[in-house]
């Protein structure tokens, strides 16, 4: 029922028309008021049917409806519709499309008329009605003032909300993809998405639907880790924020620049503002401090409190995300704030660049260079410096200059040093003989260079630490015994050291000559022996089975040379790295933290990034392989991962290392209780067994609607043939999952 606040002559309701222009419309300024008060000439709307709209809704394609006169009570609950649907009054400039009849305001007859409407979908669903063909009916009884017409609210293409400005800010800052899991806090976000994808094609972030928040965050993480470009995740209030779970930990530890946005429960409940509460769940999801759920993992967490500065807030968050140490940031905003209409504006994007780190002080360069040049067994330990794809080449130059320098990777989160260089020591988690014997150690962008209870440097070793975060400010306990520590850019620092070692005559004398050449020859011999030892351990087993080493040898042999490896192999990571032996920058990306399940979404994000970046250059994206333990595969939420892979055509090859359980807990047990009761207990007894064994590839195939290459391999004799078929399938655009039964310890 449309009732006006004062008595007026009655006129008939106007049927929906095709391209009808309405004239002589009453003022609508009151519709945009933020206070509920009596306004002459503004209707109260009620109705029947699943899409009827009432004053408590406050939405009509983004337009405000809730400012009816206080003399008229709110409509009954059945009149409240879902967000974005409504009936009301609108100015004359915008034609209305829909319906079969054609009429104008001047043609309306006097009196009251009941009209049954069944609008058609033309661009938007006017009035929230179903598409043509549905039997949806709606009845409106109207009493209108002279020279006014009741009609369905059309969308206003000029409407510019905080939500739309939010997406504009993302795009202008270089964010190209949003990984979303939407909810009741996102009506204006959804409106902005539709508006943006229709009106700003090619200049609006691509929206990727993710049925699980962990997967969404992991995709953004993988994308950002490969490209060093921040991406966005949008989740649903507090529950969606909690759904991010371990993925926020991974992004923080792995220093992945990701912006997370979540809505907040509306802060009004009587229709005071557009976006006010309309659903039961808005009370249940109203929590005291939503930011606190993830704040300790974030570089920055804040609430958007007005649309007036939404772009500044987005850019401030992205500055934190992209400045070293990089990591996730979190923004949240209530529906009322995100619905706010604002004047379009833009920022000078060059004013919002991240903070840049500088190099080493001159004195530090001299001290470290002298220590390396004068050492008999110099060692460089790194972990994540390879995020900058120029680092591997820079480290090669340093190793070629300081002949005898060895390079150890202790984190494996990025490819930092090529395996084909004589200085390569491989990947070890804080326990390696070279740490015990080195007389000079340079720690470069590394979280855990050694584990004191397992391995530590000799007492007279000269240790220096260069890091984007040398104090590890988010770790309550961290220290290494170093002579000096510097917050500096890794690439700049290495280039400074190499330049001084090559230009200073005194240092040049130390790193050249007969002694230097002997150290180089010894390195080459050690490297050759290391590779031979790795190869000897990667042979098929006598019973016809195979271990992770043999499997990865075959993967290296058969996959394209520029394959990107997304690794989450846990206890098998050393075997994987030893046998894949990555040599290309950006070709190895490991989970940055301890939140198992990263690699499912991570691999998709890496592949999506590779394809997108390559397309910009007119090239083809790289082949991506996920290598994951069986328990970790289950953590990755494969039901969502492989649906997304199919939906968005993101083909990857997944290798599941099936060793029938979680073996990491057994390793942890034996490190503390080597002779305890559990040391002789079965996997079933210590509750780490996966028996019966799940059908891992079958799970993935079901999620992809059956369109996925799935196979299981138990014998070494079958491995090469199945791998070739799987690789061919992925290169043809179909995701493949291989369930590989691997032996332990090889």
Asked whether residue 98 is domain-assigned, the answer is yes
Q: Which of helix, strand or coil describes residue 88? A: strand
Asked whether residue 129 is domain-assigned, the answer is yes
Taken in order 159, 162, 167, 169, the sign of the CA dihedral is positive
Based on the fold, state whether residues 249 and 316 are members of the same structural domain: yes
pTM for this prediction: 0.80
Q: d(Cα 247, Cα 249) in Å, to the nearest integer?
A: 5
Based on the fold, state whether residues 344 and 207 are members of the same structural domain: yes
Based on the fold, state whether residues 208 and 290 are members of the same structural domain: yes
In order of 623, 651, 729, the CA distances from 614 in angstroms are 12, 15, 21
Based on the fold, state whether residues 85 and 41 are members of the same structural domain: yes
Q: Are 700 and 642 in contact (CB under 8 A)?
A: yes
Asked whether residue 616 is domain-assigned, the answer is yes
Indicate if the pLDDT at residue 668 is higher than 90.
no
Q: d(Cα 214, Cα 119) in Å, to the nearest integer?
A: 40
Q: Which pLDDT band holds residue 120 (cuts at 50, 70, 90)?
A: very low
**Dihedral angle at the C-alpha atoms of 113, 118, 121, 124, nearest 10 degrees?**
50
Each residue's pLDDT tens digit, 417-449: 999 999 999 999 989 999 999 999 999 999 999
Each residue's pLDDT tens digit, 269-311: 999 999 999 999 999 999 999 999 999 999 999 999 999 999 9
In order of 58, 88, 154, 164, the CA distances from 61 in angstroms are 10, 11, 7, 13
Asked whether residue 532 is domain-assigned, the answer is no
pLDDT score of 154: 54
**Dihedral angle at the C-alpha atoms of 699, 703, 705, 707, nearest 10 degrees?**
-70
Based on the fold, state whether residues 572 and 677 are members of the same structural domain: yes
Domain count, the chain: 4
Domain hosting residue 718, numbered range: 537-741
- Token pair belonging to 141: 């009884």
Based on the fold, state whether residues 689 and 550 are members of the same structural domain: yes
Please give the average per-residue pLDDT across 704-720, as a whole number: 98
- Token pair belonging to 65: 């409806």
In order of 90, 151, 291, 312, the CA distances from 25 in angstroms are 7, 11, 45, 38
Asked whether residue 321 is domain-assigned, the answer is yes
Indicate if the pLDDT at residue 63 is higher than 80.
no
Asked whether residue 32 is domain-assigned, the answer is yes
Based on the fold, state whether residues 463 and 581 are members of the same structural domain: no
Please give the average per-residue pLDDT across 361-377, as a whole number: 98
Asked whether residue 287 is domain-assigned, the answer is yes
Q: Which pLDDT band holds residue 2 (cuts at 50, 70, 90)?
A: very low
CATH number at residue 227: 3.40.50.970
Closest by CA position to 405, among listed 369, 366, 361: 369
Each residue's pLDDT tens digit, 70-97: 444 444 444 333 333 333 333 333 333 3
Based on the fold, state whether residues 465 and 406 are members of the same structural domain: yes
Based on the fold, state whether residues 647 and 717 are members of the same structural domain: yes
Least confident of 147-151, 217-221, 468-472: 147-151
Question: Could you tell me where the DSSP H helices lie in 113-174?
Answer: 162-172
Indicate if the pLDDT at residue 12 is higher than 50.
no
Q: Considering 352, 372, 406, which residue would you say is the last residue of a domain?
A: 352
Q: What percent of the chain has pLDDT over 70?
A: 79
Q: Considering 302, 326, 352, which residue would you say is the last residue of a domain?
A: 352
Based on the fold, state whether residues 302 and 367 are members of the same structural domain: no
Based on the fold, state whether residues 282 and 166 are members of the same structural domain: yes
pLDDT score of 411: 82
Q: Which pLDDT band holds residue 538 (cuts at 50, 70, 90)?
A: very high
572 DSSP assignment: G
Q: Considering 137, 154, 171, which residue would you say is the last residue of a domain?
A: 154
Indicate if the pLDDT at residue 50 is higher than 70.
no
**What interhelical angle do 548-558 and 573-580 show, nearest 10?**
30
Asked whether residue 346 is domain-assigned, the answer is yes
Based on the fold, state whether residues 514 and 558 are members of the same structural domain: no
Q: Which residues contact 480 (CB under 8 A, 6 or more apart)?
A: 443, 449, 450, 463, 465
Closest by CA position to 413, among listed 326, 484, 485: 326
């Amino acid at each position: 029922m449309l009732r006006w606040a004062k008595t007026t002559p009655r006129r008939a309701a106007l049927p929906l028309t095709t391209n009808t222009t309405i004239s002589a419309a009453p003022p609508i300024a009151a519709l945009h008021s933020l206070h509920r008060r009596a306004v002459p000439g503004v209707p109260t709307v009620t109705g029947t049917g699943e899409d009827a709209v009432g004053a408590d809704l406050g939405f009509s394609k983004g337009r405000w409806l809730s400012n009816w006169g206080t003399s008229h009570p709110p409509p009954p609950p059945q009149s409240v519709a879902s967000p974005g649907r409504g009936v009301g009054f609108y100015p004359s400039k915008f034609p209305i499309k829909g319906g079969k009849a054609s009429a104008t305001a001047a043609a309306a007859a006097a009196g009251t008329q009941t009209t049954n409407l069944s609008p058609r979908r033309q661009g938007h669903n006017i009035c929230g009605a179903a598409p043509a063909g549905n039997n949806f009916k709606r009845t409106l009884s109207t009493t209108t003032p002279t020279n006014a017409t009741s009609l369905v609210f059309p969308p206003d293409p000029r409407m510019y909300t905080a939500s739309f400005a939010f997406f504009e800010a993302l795009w202008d800052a270089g964010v190209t993809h949003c990984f979303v899991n939407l909810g009741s806090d996102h009506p204006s976000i959804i409106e902005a998405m539709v508006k943006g994808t229709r009106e700003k094609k090619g200049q609006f972030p691509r929206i990727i639907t993710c049925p699980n928040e962990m997967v969404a965050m992991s995709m953004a993480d993988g994308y950002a880790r490969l490209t060093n470009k921040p991406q966005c995740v949008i989740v649903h209030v507090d529950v969606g924020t909690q759904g991010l779970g371990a993925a926020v930990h991974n992004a923080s530890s792995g220093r992945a620049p990701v912006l997370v946005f979540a809505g907040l429960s509306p802060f009004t409940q009587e229709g005071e503002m557009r976006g006010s509460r309309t659903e039961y769940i808005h009370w249940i999801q109203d929590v005291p401090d939503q930011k606190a759920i993830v704040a300790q993992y974030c570089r920055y967490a804040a609430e958007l409190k007005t649309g007036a500065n939404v772009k500044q807030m987005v850019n401030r968050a992205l500055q934190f995300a992209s400045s070293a140490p990089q990591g996730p940031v979190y923004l949240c905003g209530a529906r009322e704030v995100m619905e706010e209409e604002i004047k379009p504006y833009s920022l000078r994007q060059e004013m919002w660049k991240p903070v840049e780190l500088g190099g080493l002080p001159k004195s530090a360069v001299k001290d470290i260079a002298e220590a390396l040049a004068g050492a008999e067994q110099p060692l460089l330990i790194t972990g994540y410096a390879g995020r900058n794809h120029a680092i591997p080449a820079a480290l090669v130059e340093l190793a070629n200059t300081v002949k005898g320098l060895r390079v150890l990777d202790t984190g494996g989160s990025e490819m930092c040093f090529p395996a084909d260089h004589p200085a390569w020591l491989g990947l070890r988690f804080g326990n390696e003989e070279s740490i015990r014997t080195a007389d000079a150690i340079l720690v470069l962008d590394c979280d855990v260079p050694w584990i004191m209870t397992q391995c530590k440097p000799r007492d007279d070793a000269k240790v220096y630490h260069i890091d984007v975060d040398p104090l590890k400010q988010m770790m309550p306990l961290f220290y290494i015994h170093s002579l000096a520590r510097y917050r500096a850019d890794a690439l700049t620092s290495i280039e400074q050291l190499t330049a001084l070692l090559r230009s200073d005559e005194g240092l040049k004398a130390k790193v050249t000559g007969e002694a230097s050449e002997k150290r180089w020859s010894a390195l080459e011999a050690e490297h050759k022996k290391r590779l031979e030892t790795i190869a000897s351990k990667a042979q098929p087993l006598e019973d016809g089975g195979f271990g992770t080493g043999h499997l990865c040898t075959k993967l290296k042999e058969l996959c394209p040379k520029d394959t990107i490896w997304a690794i989450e192999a846990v206890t098998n990571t050393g075997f994987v790295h030893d046998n894949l032996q990555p040599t290309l920058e950006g070709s190895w990306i490991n989970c940055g933290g301890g939140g198992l399940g990263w690699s499912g979404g991570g691999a998709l994000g890496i592949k999506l990034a590779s394809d997108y970046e390559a397309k910009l250059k007119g090239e083809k994206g790289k082949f991506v392989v996920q290598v994951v333990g069986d328990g970790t595969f289950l953590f990755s939420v494969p039901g969502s991962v492989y649906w997304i892979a199919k939906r968005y055509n993101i083909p990857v090859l997944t290798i599941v290392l099936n060793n029938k359980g979680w073996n990491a807990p057994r390793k942890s047990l034996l490190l503390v209780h080597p002779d305890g009761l559990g040391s002789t207990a079965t996997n079933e007894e210590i509750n780490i067994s996966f028996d019966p064994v799940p059908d891992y590839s079958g799970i993935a195939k079901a999620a992809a609607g059956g369109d996925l290459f799935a196979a299981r391999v138990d014998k070494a004799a079958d491995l090469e043939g199945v791998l070739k078929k799987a690789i061919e399938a992925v290169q043809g655009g179909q995701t493949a999952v291989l369930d590989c039964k691997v032996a332990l310890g090889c």
